Structures are given as C-alpha cells and as structure tokens.
Structure 1
Amino acid sequence: MARDAGNNTTEPRVDGNHSDILETTEIAPASHWAAFLRLKFANTSRGVRLVEKEHKGPLYIQKPFYPEGVAVPHAYLLHPPGGLVSGDHLNIHVQVEPHAHTLVTTPGAGRMYRAREDESPQEQSATLEIAEGGVVEWLPLEAILFPGAHAKATNRIFLAEQAKVIFWDVVCLGLPANGLTFDRGSFNQNLMIYRNDRLMLQERLVLNDDSRDFLQASIGFQQHPIQGLMVAGPFLDDTNTLVDELRNLVGASNALVGVTRVSDFIVVRSLGDCSEQVRESLTQLWSPIRKTLLGREGCPPRIWNT
C-alpha cells in the first residue's frame, strides 16, 4: 500500500501538448473494449459550448445541460456497457479553453468487474487540460470494484495560470450490500495535478495482496469499504476560515471526513459504508468550496436526483 500527498518539486517537467497522452490508446482484441473520448469546451458568443468532440468505441457524451445558464455547461459522460472487464481501457481527454468552465459527471455508477484468469487489468485514464482562467469540475458518480478486479485509474490534471479544478472520486471496494468484500484483486489509483507543467500535488493508492490489511487498519480504511476523495484549488489566499467552516459542517454531520490543506489545494477524504452517504458528504462540502473558489453557489447536476 502507498498513499502519498503533497508537493513534489523533483518530478520531471512535463512539456508539450498533453494530447499525446490520449494517443497511447491502442485497439484491443475483439473481446476487449478500447475506447476514447476527446472534448473541447470554449467561450463563444452563445456562452460556453462544446466546440469539438471525438470518440472511438462505446464512450460518448450527452448533449450538455445548462441549469446555471450559458456560462457553465453540465456534461454527462456515457459508457453504455456500464463496466470494464479485463483488457478494457477507457481514455478521456477534456480540454477547456481560456476562461471557459464546465462540470463533468456521469449518470450512474461505473463498475470494474472480476478479472479474467490472466488477470489483465481494466483501466480508465482521464486527462483534464485547463487553459488560463478556465475551470473544470470533475464529479463522477462512484466506481464499484468487484472482488477479483485488477483495476487501474489514472487522472492527470494540467492547470495553466489562474486555472482551477474541483475533482472528486468515490470508490466502493467490493459489494457491501451483498456482503462481498474486496478480498482479492488489486487497485492502483493515481491523481497528479500539474500547474504550468510542474507537479504540485499527487495522491496515490495501491491495494493488492501485500496491502490487504490496510482495509482494516486504523490508519487505513478502518473496515469501511467506501472511500471518497475531493481536491479543489489552487487557493492563492488564506483558507483558514473556509477550512474551519468545512470542519464544522463535518462535525455537525457525524460523517467520517477529514479536511486538510495541501500546498495550494484543499483535500477532503471520506470513509463510509454506503456510497450515497459518502457522496452526500462530499456534496455538502463541495458547495462552500465552490462558492469560495469559483464564486458560484452549489448546483448539483439534475441527473443525481434520478
């Protein structure tokens, strides 16, 4: 098991166009899905619009909704198979042009099914490239890891000057409602946030047979199968008042949630036994974070209510 967070100024500089990350997706054998989706949002005379999209395989986007007006489209990612099996690879690239803003979510939970006998992994990669003054809110519903899955999730976020991001991730290890624990398989989760192509924050979680005890440890998951992570920033001003407000909200809800500031980012961690409960705890804190960071009131996507 490894869990890291914080500055890493020794990380090599990443130069050039980040779209080359997307091109590493190759066509898989017929029994596997290798899909990619490329989206670009930009300011236009009619507000922020989806100006470019490209996809290959079963990965699409629903027509954006505008519950907040034309300045913030809400985009729903669609993956018709509903889950990943061994050898599947989803690759998502969201590009936001200067001073554009988009919120990206999903209409339902994702699933990582039990791996085949060869234990080849199922992978999802997301790259968010946010130009000067742009904003991406990446708020997918939970991912469910079936016992025996060998899953990899890699998220790379590239921020230009004055760009901002709110990112969250909710993972359900096993099927607690059915009494199935994540007692076999592996999970490798990595989040990297760069500003001006230098690594500012990294979060990594590795679970495998050598680190299974971490799920029960008091410094780990404490026997809770659901974990939530939210990272927001960068905050260039003092955030003590906001952190105090968030911690007071946590205390009032009795949820198992921690709030810290790491570098220029606020990091929220949540543990629970119900994915909806964990997501609700993140949503409760997302609203004041959003208001402080982006100057906007919380506006949960309508799909969450269906």
Structure 2
Amino acid sequence: MTHCDSALPFTDSGHRFDDQRRWAASLGLRFARRDGVTRLTQARHQGPLRVQRPFYPEGRAGACHVYVLHPPGGLVSGDALTVSAHIERGAHALLTTPAANKLYKADSQGVAWAQHTELSVEDGGVLEWLPQETIAFDGSRGEQRTHIALFGAARCLGWEIMALGRPASALPFASGRIEQHFRLTLDGRPLWLERQPLDPLHPRFIGRWGQGGATVQATLWAVGFKDAADAVGALRAALPDTPRWAVTVRQGVLLLRYLGHCRNEAWALCEQAWGLLRPRLIECEAHTPRIWLT
C-alpha cells in the first residue's frame, strides 16, 4: 500500500493503537554467592526496565543492594511489566526502587495495564523486596500479580504499599479497577494466597467490613523466623498503638497490615517494622538503602 489506511491498528513500527495495544518490558535478575560475596550474575532486560550497578553498603559479605529502574516512572494503558529475581543458595539480595511507581488513568478505550513480579529463593538464600510505594491515579485499570516461591530454609521479607488517588489534590480514586493477586509457596506448597479487587464502585471499598474508605494500604510479609511469636511480640510492643495496623502469623507467614489515609504513616510503619524484624530474621541490623534518603 502506498497510502495511509486509518483503519489499520498498527503503525509502521509495529505498535498497536487500538484496544489490543500492549507494550511489554521485562527484567530478569539472578543472584549467586561467589567467594563469599553475593553477586548479580544475570540481568536480562527488554524494554524500559534496568538496574543500577550493585551496591554493598553493608560490606562485601553483606546484602547486595540493587535498584530496579523503570525510566517512564509509571504504567499507562497497554503496559505489561514483568520483573523476576532468583536468589541462589547462600546469596542475599535487597531490591528496591528509586521512586514511587505510578498507575495512570486508563485511556478512552479503558485498556488495562499489567504488572507481574516473580520472586524465587533457594534453600539458604535471603531476599528483601522493598519497593517504594505505588500511587494509583483515579481511573487506573490493571492487574498486579506477585508470586514468591521459597525453597527449604529460604528467608524472605517484603512489602507492598499502595496509595489510592491523590486526596491532597482533591483527586480521589473514584473510578477504575485494580486487581491484586499474591501467591507465596514453600517447596511448592501454598502458604499465602490472596486476591483483592480495588473497585471504588463496589460496596467492599467503603464498607467497614472491607476497605472502609481507606486511601492507603500496606502489607508486609516475612517468612523464615526461628521464633515468629517473638517477632510479633516485638512489633506489638514497639510500633505506634493505633487501630490502623495489625499483625498475625499464619502457616509460618508473618503478615502486617495497614489501612489508613497517610502514605508517610504507612511507610514509617513498614520501615520501623523492617528494622525490628531484620535482626530476628537474618541476624543483621537494618541498613537503609541510600536511595531512600535522596
């Protein structure tokens, strides 16, 4: 054809601009312990997902700190991001992000985005998954899936912090739908399975039996304690005494939940909990990633 046909769903570059558009990006990381040091042995990427070089602020024998970078800074309609990380036996990795992740309003055709995270930790490995918060704009539509596969005596601590809308700018999360799935297994056996739809038009969103109108939520999980009851006791004794959070242990998984209206409060709670739990889980004091202070 020598003329432009506006009915065609593709441009010359191959991108779609109809309701089937999809722009994929992926990042695959692998960590291994070599000569007493956890090294980033593999970093494969497609599209706008990268990592900075590994950092060792705790010394070469300590955790390997890696920052996951998504230069666009957020997800729009049609984006499909997949991040995977595999921790080999004896390795210790701490993964975080340099800034908040943003989930933007869906386009006029309501095309959804997708964000999948696949984490696996071999027997004797340690993973800390500590991304900065996610901000969902009004009208955002998409799906988040997090799958954590642990083996043997693997240890893992992570969190997910979600802020819905931008209430300070009088822009609440009043439309759209985000579906979250969490799956955590040990040697293939499910320990924690969860599905949570975030739909402001559903009664659950404002009901006291559900979201209760909260605009910020957080979940922190940790697996691998020698004494989980001691960890729970330490959290209950040290964290602020408010009804906005609770902690429990089920099937060996410690879960701390927050429901409220303040991103800073949720972040401070999770960071303080991490500081209390890390020595009990991996016998190392918490070492704040430098990127959190910039």
Paired position in structure 2 for 1:154: 145
- Per the TM alignment, residue 255 of structure 1 is displaced from its structure 2 partner at its CA by 6.7
Partner of 1:241, secondary structure, is helix
Partner of 1:38, secondary structure, is strand
Could you state the TM-score of these two structures normalised by the residue count of structure 1?
0.86
Paired position in structure 2 for 1:122: 113
Partner of 2:156, secondary structure, is strand
Aligned residues: 277
Q: In the alignment, which of 13, 29, 37 is matched to residue 16 of structure 2?
A: 29
Tell me which amino acid in the other structure corresponds to 2:261. D
Cα pair 1:291 1:298 within 8 Å, conserved: yes
Q: In the alignment, which of 248, 256, 259 is matched to residue 271 of structure 1?
A: 259
Structure 1 CA distance, aligned partners of 2:281 and 2:194?
A: 21
Structure 2 CA distance, aligned partners of 1:238 and 1:85?
A: 43
Cα pair 1:28 1:87 within 8 Å, conserved: no
Partner of 1:118, secondary structure, is coil
Aligned pair in 2 of structure 1 residues 222, 284: CA closer, same or farther (>3 Å)?
same
- Using the aligned pairs only, state the percent identity: 35
Q: In the alignment, which of 87, 90, 103 is matched to residue 78 of structure 2?
A: 87
Structure 2 CA distance, aligned partners of 1:203 and 1:231?
A: 13
Q: In the alignment, which of 25, 31, 34 is matched to residue 41 of structure 1?
A: 31
Q: In the alignment, which of 51, 70, 79 is matched to residue 61 of structure 1?
A: 51
Paired position in structure 1 for 2:9: none
Paired position in structure 2 for 1:11: none
Which ranges in structure 1 are unaligned for 5 or more consecutive residues?
A: 1-26
Aligned 1:125-136 pairs, distance under 5 A: 125-136=116-127
Paired position in structure 2 for 1:20: none
Tell me which amino acid in the other structure corresponds to 2:275. S
Which ranges in structure 2 are unaligned for 5 or more consecutive residues?
A: 1-13
Please state if 1:51 is matched with 2:31. no
Partner of 1:50, secondary structure, is strand
Paired position in structure 2 for 1:245: 234
Structure 1 CA distance, aligned partners of 2:201 and 2:175?
A: 11
Structure 1 CA distance, aligned partners of 2:100 and 2:240?
A: 28
Partner of 2:248, secondary structure, is strand
Please state if 1:256 is matched with 2:244. yes
Partner of 2:139, secondary structure, is coil
Partner of 2:74, secondary structure, is coil
Cα RMSD of the aligned pairs, angstroms, is 1.7
Partner of 1:117, secondary structure, is coil
- Per the TM alignment, residue 155 of structure 1 is displaced from its structure 2 partner at its CA by 0.5
- Per the TM alignment, residue 167 of structure 1 is displaced from its structure 2 partner at its CA by 1.4
Deviations 1:183-225 (A, max 9, x none): 10001011100111121111221122652x3332223333320
Tell me which amino acid in the other structure corresponds to 1:249. A
Structure of higher RCO (CA pairs closer than 8 Å, 6+ residues apart): 1
Could you state the TM-score of these two structures normalised by the residue count of structure 2?
0.89
- Per the TM alignment, residue 46 of structure 1 is displaced from its structure 2 partner at its CA by 5.7
Please state if 1:166 is matched with 2:157. yes
